[in-house]
Structure 1
Amino acid sequence: MENKNSTIHVEVAYALPDRQRIVALEVPEGCTVREAALQSGLDKQFAGLDLATADLGVFGKSVGAPDSQPLKSGERVEIYRPLIADPKEVRKQRAAKVKARKEAQ
């Protein structure tokens, strides 16, 4: 006989600039971050999304080992898109613009 507590409720989220989706799932206890992402089926809704290799996180914190980290009930898995620009480089460019503006005054 199956125990009522053998499954947990989690969500899996993915977003593009113009479209997002959150999928609620009931998964077995011990389900990993990657397994939940794969079970979400979001790769079928978003062309080019490869859940087998995508960077994943839980509630905004990147998960270093998504294939082995188990989820807890109520957690939200987030699927991250590759960065278009290096955030450090963007900050440097922004700082250079501010400095140039100040020097021009």
Structure 2
Amino acid sequence: MGDGVAERIKVSLSYARGPQAGVVSDSGSDAIGEAAGGGLPILRVMDVEAGTTIGQAIEMSGILQEAPEINLVTMPVGIYGKKKTLDTVLQPRDRIEIYRPLIADPKDARRRRAKRDSAA
């Protein structure tokens, strides 16, 4: 752009809090977090400069302060379900996702359900 104004792009960021991250309401009760099996998801829509990386956008979003359990060294990130690195440059309308570790092995959970259902 010739006018010296940096181009801005719109991106979104999502993180689903785990069961250990209960949500505390204004009344001091965390029943909302318990009922949902964990905290409510964190969703952000942001305008960032073109050329911004995933890591920069995460820092700018403030999510690391809101969800201190996020560890970008150990938790992978991605865009629309595909793993990416923190230095990946964002494109317009990208959805950044921060992935948390699984709390149960999907194969074991499926076996337990099948065993339970066959016994019923």
- TM-score (structure 2 length as normaliser): 0.65
Aligned residues: 98
Q: Equivalent residue for 1:2?
A: 4
Amino acid at match of 1:62: K
Instruction: Identify the match of residue 107 of structure 2 among 82, 88, 99.
Output: 88
Q: 2:79 aligns with which of 58, 72, 97?
A: 58
Give the equivalent residue in structure 2 for 1:45. Answer: 66
Using the aligned pairs only, state the percent identity. 31
Measure the CA separation in 2 of the matches of 1:26 and 1:52: 25
Secondary structure of 2:110 counterpart: helix
Alpha-carbon deviation of 1:71?
A: 1.8
5+ residue gaps, structure 1: none
Which has more strand, going by share of residues?
A: 1
Letter in 2 for 1:72: Q
Q: Distance in 1 between matches of 2:10 and 2:64?
A: 20
Deviations 1:54-82 (A, max 9, x none): 222223x131x322432211122121222
TM-score norm. by structure 1 comes to: 0.73
Q: Distance in 2 between matches of 1:54 and 1:37?
A: 13
Alignment root-mean-square deviation, CA: 2.2
